[in-house]
Amino acid sequence: MTSFATLQDSALIEGTLAGRSECFTVLMNRHMPAVRRRVKSMAPNTWDEDDLVQETFLKAWRHLSSFRSDASFRTWITRVATNEVLQQYRRNRRSPAGPAATGLDTCASHDESPHEALARMETRQTIRTAIARLPEKYRRVLILRDLDELTTHEAARCLQSGVPLVKSRHFRARQLLSTAILGRSAG
């Protein structure tokens, strides 16, 4: 019997599409940490995280046949997670309870005070704003390497460029981001 855990993602995808659900279980377990990190970095409420992660894998299961090998499966699944968080955000904004729920409840957590939650949200917004202001060539590398957690080689393949260029742009992007954040906090 073949150990599914040793198979490449592409073989696990083929197995899943052929009806072997245990292949998808291995894919899910393999990429769960990356999906959870992405959702956690974007979800406004900690109690939404588990639902969003579950919905991400459910959508991945339903739409696995549409996966193309242009990028790695991890890139694809974290993009599904990002889209799911954004969809949840849009649904919450449209719902009648949306504006009423923007008080302290959105900051409340068992692990942190409202002040700590507010500071965390402000820091997150500062970082997002600084990333958005980076020049495109640096922003794309930073997102692929630090948010999507691609290797340098995977990022180079996605950007259709060389590894040395990706390394230098990643280094420069981090410098620019650090300068922007430190400059803002000093001001």
Q: How many domains does the chain have?
A: 2
Residue 65 within a domain: yes
114, 106, 31, 125: which is closest to 73 by C-alpha? 31
Query: Any idea what the CATH number is for the domain that residue 8 is in?
Result: 1.10.1740.10
Q: What are phi and psi of 8, to 5 degrees?
A: -70, 160
Question: 161 or 147: whose pLDDT is higher?
Answer: 161
pLDDT of residue 111: 61
Residue 187 within any structural domain of the chain = no
**Tens digit of pLDDT for each residue in 87-131?**
887 776 665 544 334 433 444 445 666 777 777 778 888 888 888
Domain boundary among 74, 106, 138: 106
Q: State the residue range of the domain holding 134.
A: 114-182
Q: Is 187 helix (H, G, I), strand (E, B) or coil?
A: coil
Q: Please identify, among 72, 106, 140, the residue that sits at the C-terminal boundary of a domain.
A: 106
pLDDT tens digits for range 169-186: 999 999 998 888 887 655
